Amino acid sequence: MPINLPLVHISRPSTLKENAPLLVMLHGYGSDENDLFSFASELPEELFIISIRAPYPLQPSGNAWYAINFDAEQNKWNDNEQAKSSMDILIRCIDQACAFYPVDQTNVTLLGFSQGTILAMATALNHPTKIKNIIGLSGYVNHDILPENLEESAYSHLSFYCSHGTVDQVIPIDWARQTPVFLKGLNIEHTYSEFPVGHGVAPQNFYELRDWISTKI
């Protein structure tokens, strides 16, 4: 029976009746909760999966975790205050999901794509006690929404799986290649892979992340 969370969501129950690992899906800019949920049936059946709709609606359709603004010269910048607000709402969703669904609050994984990845990584680093694993597809680390002081000891339990397309025309591969360098600097366990695709998830990419999450539950 779905419950009301602060954000619209859809869910797939686990085969476990209690203490199921929770996987939270965060879609990319301009999409909705149905996008990544198409993966759900192919993921381990032990996972309790919820896919969340981002809070800011776009015109004519789709949703965003935060606005991306352009000036007259086509320079773009992120609305970091909206991003921080989305992180707060996301944490409230996770807290309520853990309270009402039969899941293990110590085994929460965030799976993001593009803007959802940016938010997932920042959420884990701002609220490390709430998150265990992060799957970051086609995204990067936005340092403007991270804590001022990154305490290495607070992140010792975290594990990241990150991947990117080598010909991504939306988020440059060079931005993504900074992620493993950043994570290594904090001694955070991580896997980083590249695939010969654009801004999307190749089948081999999906199989690899599925195998990775299977070892974490």
pLDDT tens for each residue of the chain, 217 residues long? 668 899 999 999 999 999 999 999 999 999 999 999 999 999 999 999 999 999 999 999 999 999 987 665 556 678 999 999 999 999 999 999 999 999 999 999 999 999 999 999 999 999 999 999 999 999 999 999 999 999 999 999 999 999 999 999 999 999 999 999 999 999 999 999 999 999 999 999 999 999 999 999 8
d(CA 141, CA 182): 8
- C-beta atoms surrounding 90 within 10 Å: 26
Q: Could you tell me which of 63, 55, 58 has the C-alpha nearest to residue 28?
A: 63
The predicted-structure confidence for 3-37, as pLDDT tens digits, reads as follows 889 999 999 999 999 999 999 999 999 999 999 99
- 């990584």: which residue's tokens? 121
d(CA 180, CA 201): 19
Total number of residues shown for the chain: 217
Query: Does residue 23 contact residue 48 with C-beta atoms inside 8 Å?
Result: yes
In the chain the domains, ranked by start, together with CATH numbers, are: 9-214 (3.40.50.1820)
